[in-house]
Structure 1
Amino acid sequence: MKAFLLAVGGFLALTASMLGACLVWGGPAAPEGRSAIVGTFQRAAIDPPALQSFKARDGTELAYRNTPAESPERGSVVLVHGSAGDSRAMQPLAKSLAAAGLNAYALDIRGHGDSGPRGRIAYVGQLEDDLADFLAAVQPPAPRLLAGFSSGGGFALRVAAGPDADAFDGYLLLAPFVSHEAPTYRPDAGGWVRVGVPRLIALHLLDGFGIRAFHHLPVMRFAVDANSGLTPSYGFRLAINFRPRTDWRAEVAAVARPTRVLVGGDDAVFHPQAFAEVFARQDAMDIPVRVLPGIGHAGVVLDPAARRGVVEAADALLSAKPVQEAD
């Protein structure tokens, strides 16, 4: 019996030391170089609307920007930026939507921009709570669409597949992150991100035992400069929440609201031709995928031709008319 207890104690001590090592030294390395995506968005974010704020249920003031619709008003679109970004990145698209008669609301998702400490949230699910609080406080005119870009597109997919999907009349997924296991994913997102896999696994294991004291530790780092004004890394909770749930196939299958996917044909972060396979479904709920030729990853929300395509997709969702699936 004593030998057994010693063996168990030794195993537990070894496991604890391995987990400790993963927590301390298993974090994300810095991506090599500086992504050209950052400069592209910084050049595009000229003269954005002033920041406004609403109060979330925990009392935190969260930021957003509103680009009012030009007459006649036809509804609203809530825009969610990509990883590391903020509401400024969505302003060119917001202007195109406003010109088409849609009120555009670009959010600073909690953990980004002017919405709380960067890279951190308090619990997984807080981003969905924040979105519900935004809708209750600001009350964007109906009908409403949720449009997300890149990681924001993954978050929009999470909402579309979740219990509060009916808060929106339709969803636009713009070059969305689906999963690192999906065929759309390039290694390290084409050099944009590095994930601390040992730390991530350790935190998942500890989370299973209810140990959440280390959830603030960064598990993802992005190819941004420290002085860029962007969010350079994500803690565990934000990394888990700002994306679809783990079973991406179940997420796609659960979408019950009209949804459209657009991706650039020259996307260097994801594999554009794989999106049709990922969003193919066998039921009556079609999720059309449109590949925009000659458009890169950021271009899907910045390029004028791509923005026209997004407006066309929004029109299709609002009017329930078919949208062109490919060029």
Structure 2
Amino acid sequence: MSAQHKIGSGFGHDSTADDVLAGIDLTGKLAIVTGGYSGLGLETSKALAGAGAHVVVPARRPDAAREVLAGIAEVDELDLGDLDSVRSFADRFLASGRSIDIVIDNAAIMACPETRVGPGWEAQFATNHLGHFALVNRLWPAIAADGGARVVSVSSSAHRRSDIRWDDLEFRLGYDKWEAYGQAKTANVLFAVQLDALGKDSGVRAFALHPGGILTPLQRHLPREEMVGYGWIDEDGNPTGAGFKSPEQGAATQVWAATSPQLAELGGVFCEDCEVAEVSEDGPTGVRPYAIDPAAAQRLWTVSARLTGVDAFGLG
């Protein structure tokens, strides 16, 4: 029987990161939050640090991150679109001899113009998925060191826009920025499914999630007229409401997935609104079946290991 069903968490759309952390003491825990210096990542870093965790933020713009996170988190350099940068960060961290209790793969790019990175990879798939895949695999010795760790893959409702395009992962046959984002977000879910299957015997559980609609710097690539057309903002650039969450509410589900004792016996599930989501074939909420398919998750892992040359489990 699938674990992909609501559990009655008691939290919901309006819950904040601080709400879900009430009564949880993270003293002595170490959390890594990619992109943890702006938008949802910043609120996540602040909430985890406020609960006592030592937060490490690997950042593409480390100077900007240090300015924002002074007194809140440790900052290091990492560009997820550059596998050499991923390796360098992981090597530096592993050399510190510390174990990891929480990894939140939060950093992302969205709906950008066609961009190629590395050996010509489509940038959204490369940054949002392959970079995090390589990062977690390289950090695996520290993640599995003490057992009880959680890895949280921040996906999106946009996973409903596209399954994995197995015959054209890199959009060589024509680029669509939203389909590319959707594929990357589906990859984020499948990554959590397979990582959980591989890691649970070591005490490591993985989760994926949709944080909700939030206006953050993630929208940096979208023209104002496009966001007006979607009804997200008015002609003056002001948010229209439109069901959006605040950043504090948007960070809640990833913080809940990373820390909640309600999920102690679960893993490999997709969450939204601080709750395990239901499977949905075509509805406006829930997770699509293709995004949690174990065979697809295993296939994507094999492909990702081949592309990145990294696989902590030796399965690629």
The structure with the larger Rg is 1
What TM-score results when the alignment is normalised by the length of structure 1? 0.35
